[in-house]
A and B are shown apart, each in its own frame.
Chain A
Amino acid sequence: MAAVKQTVEHVASLEKYKHGFVTDIDQEFAPKGLNADIVRFISAKKDEPEWMLQWRLEAFERWLALEEPDWAKVSFPRIDYQDSYYYAAPKTKEGPKSLDEVDPDLLETYKKLGIPLKEQEVLAGVQGAPRYAVDAVFDSVSVVTTFKKELAQAGVIFCPMSEAIREHGDLVRRYLGSVVPVSDNYFACLNSAVFSDGSFVYVPPGVRCPMELSTYFRINAENSGQFERTLIIADAGAYVSYLEGCTAPMRDENQLHAAVVELVALDDAEIKYSTVQNWYPGDPETGKGGIYNFVTKRADCRGDRSKVSWTQVETGSSITWKYPSCVLRGNESSGEFYSIAITNGRQQADTGTKMIHLGANTRSRIISKGISAGKSSNTYRGLVSAHPKARGARNFTQCDSLLIGKHCAAHTVPYIEARNGQAVFEHEATTTRLSEDQLFYAMQRGLSQEEAVQLLVNGFVKDVLQELPMEFAVEAQKLVAISLEGSVG
Chain B
Amino acid sequence: MSVASAIKTGDAAELPGKRDEDWRWTDLRGLIRQVPPDSAPAAAVGAGPFDGAAEEIVVIANGEGAAHIGVDPHGDRTVALRIVSRGDGSHAARVSIDVEADGRLTLLESYEGEGSYLSQTGLVFSLGVGAQVERVVLAADDAEGVTVSEAEVQLAAEASFGQTVITGGARRQRLQTTVRHPGGHANLRLDGVYLLADKRHADLTTVVTHEGLDGVTEQLAKGVVRDQARGVFQGRIVVAEGADRTDARMGHHALILSDRAEVDARPELEIYADDVSCAHGNTVGRLDEDALFYARQRGMPDDVARALLTEAFVGEVVERIGHEPARDIAAAWVAERLRGG
A and B touch in their complex, CB below 8 angstroms: yes
Q: Chain A residues in contact with chain B, CB under 8 A?
A: 71, 388, 391, 401, 403-433
User: Is B282 a contact partner of A431 (Cβ separation < 8 A)?
Assistant: no
Is B293 interfacial (CB 8 A cutoff)?
no
User: Is A421 a contact partner of B274 (Cβ separation < 8 A)?
Assistant: no
Is B241 interfacial (CB 8 A cutoff)?
yes
User: Is B271 a contact partner of A403 (Cβ separation < 8 A)?
Assistant: yes
Residues of A within 8 A of B256 (CB): 418, 420-421, 423
A41 to B260 alpha-carbon distance, docked (Å):
52
User: Is B262 a contact partner of A412 (Cβ separation < 8 A)?
Assistant: no
Mark B231-269 against chain A: 1 for CB-CB distance below 8 A, else 0: 000000000010000000000001011111111111111
Residues of B within 8 A of A419 (CB): 260, 262
Mostly, the A contact residues are strand
Residues of B within 8 A of A414 (CB): 265-268, 282
A391 to B259 alpha-carbon distance, docked (Å):
8
User: Is A418 a contact partner of B276 (Cβ separation < 8 A)?
Assistant: no
What bracket does the count of chain B residues touching chain A fall in? 20 to 34
A14 to B53 alpha-carbon distance, docked (Å):
70
Instruction: Please give me the 9 A-B residue pairs with the lowest Cβ-Cβ distance, nearest first.
Output: A424-B285, A403-B274, A427-B282, A421-B256, A416-B265, A412-B269, A431-B278, A418-B284, A433-B274
Is B277 interfacial (CB 8 A cutoff)?
yes
A71, A405, A431 pick with most chain B CB within 10 angstroms: A431
Is B294 interfacial (CB 8 A cutoff)?
no
A413 to B237 alpha-carbon distance, docked (Å):
11
A196 to B286 alpha-carbon distance, docked (Å):
49
- For this complex, 18 residue pairs linking A to B, each with C-beta atoms less than 8 Å apart, are A401-B271, A403-B273, A405-B274, A408-B274, A409-B270, A409-B272, A410-B269, A411-B270, A411-B271, A418-B264, A420-B256, A422-B259, A424-B283, A426-B283, A427-B281, A429-B269, A430-B278, A431-B269
Measured CB to CB, the closest approach of chain B to A410, in angstroms, equals 5
Mark B183-194 against chain A: 1 for CB-CB distance below 8 A, else 0: 000000000000
User: Is B286 a contact partner of A424 (Cβ separation < 8 A)?
Assistant: yes
Residues of B within 8 A of A417 (CB): 262-264
User: Is B286 a contact partner of A429 (Cβ separation < 8 A)?
Assistant: no
Apart from A421-B260, A429-B267, 5 more pairs, CB < 8 Å:
A403-B271, A410-B269, A418-B254, A429-B280, A431-B269
Is B21 interfacial (CB 8 A cutoff)?
yes
Residues of A within 8 A of B241 (CB): 406-407
Measured CB to CB, the closest approach of chain A to B222, in angstroms, equals 14
User: Is A71 a contact partner of B21 (Cβ separation < 8 A)?
Assistant: yes
Residues of B within 8 A of A404 (CB): 274
User: Is A409 a contact partner of B285 (Cβ separation < 8 A)?
Assistant: no
A421 to B287 alpha-carbon distance, docked (Å):
10
A404, A406, A409, A416 pick with most chain B CB within 10 angstroms: A416
How many A-B residue pairs lie within 8 Å, measured between CB atoms? 114
A433 to B264 alpha-carbon distance, docked (Å):
29
Residues of B within 8 A of A405 (CB): 274
In-complex Cβ contact of A413 among B266, B275, B282, B285 (8 A): B266
Is B279 interfacial (CB 8 A cutoff)?
yes
Measured CB to CB, the closest approach of chain B to A376, in angstroms, equals 12
User: Is A406 a contact partner of B274 (Cβ separation < 8 A)?
Assistant: yes
Residues of B within 8 A of A408 (CB): 274
A420 to B227 alpha-carbon distance, docked (Å):
10
Q: Chain B residues in contact with chain A, CB under 8 A?
A: 21, 241, 254, 256-286
Q: If A430-B278, A433-B274, A433-B276 touch, does A421 touch B269 (CB 8 Å cutoff)?
A: no
A418 to B252 alpha-carbon distance, docked (Å):
13
Residues of A within 8 A of B262 (CB): 417-419
Measured CB to CB, the closest approach of chain B to A44, in angstroms, equals 41
User: Is B269 a contact partner of A411 (Cβ separation < 8 A)?
Assistant: yes
Q: If A411-B271, A421-B258, A422-B286 touch, does A416 touch B279 (CB 8 Å cutoff)?
A: no
User: Is A423 a contact partner of B271 (Cβ separation < 8 A)?
Assistant: no
A415 to B46 alpha-carbon distance, docked (Å):
41
Q: If A388-B259, A416-B284, A420-B256 touch, does A431 touch B279 (CB 8 Å cutoff)?
A: yes
A422 to B285 alpha-carbon distance, docked (Å):
7
Residues of A within 8 A of B263 (CB): 416-418
Residues of A within 8 A of B277 (CB): 431-432
User: Is A420 a contact partner of B268 (Cβ separation < 8 A)?
Assistant: no
User: Is A421 a contact partner of B283 (Cβ separation < 8 A)?
Assistant: no
A418, A423, A425 pick with most chain B CB within 10 angstroms: A418
A416 to B278 alpha-carbon distance, docked (Å):
19
Residues of A within 8 A of B267 (CB): 412, 414, 427, 429
Measured CB to CB, the closest approach of chain B to A332, in angstroms, equals 18
In-complex Cβ contact of A416 among B258, B259, B264, B275 (8 A): B264
A401 to B271 alpha-carbon distance, docked (Å):
10
User: Is B284 a contact partner of A412 (Cβ separation < 8 A)?
Assistant: no
- Chain B's closest residue to A73 (CB) is B270
Measured CB to CB, the closest approach of chain B to A370, in angstroms, equals 11
User: Is A425 a contact partner of B281 (Cβ separation < 8 A)?
Assistant: no
Residues of A within 8 A of B254 (CB): 418
User: Is B269 a contact partner of A425 (Cβ separation < 8 A)?
Assistant: no
Residues of B within 8 A of A410 (CB): 269, 271
A405 to B285 alpha-carbon distance, docked (Å):
38
User: Is A432 a contact partner of B276 (Cβ separation < 8 A)?
Assistant: yes
- Chain B's closest residue to A432 (CB) is B277
A323 to B260 alpha-carbon distance, docked (Å):
28
- Chain A's closest residue to B21 (CB) is A71
User: Is A421 a contact partner of B275 (Cβ separation < 8 A)?
Assistant: no
A312 to B262 alpha-carbon distance, docked (Å):
32
Residues of A within 8 A of B261 (CB): 420-421
Residues of B within 8 A of A412 (CB): 267-270, 280
Measured CB to CB, the closest approach of chain B to A206, in angstroms, equals 36
- Chain A's closest residue to B264 (CB) is A417
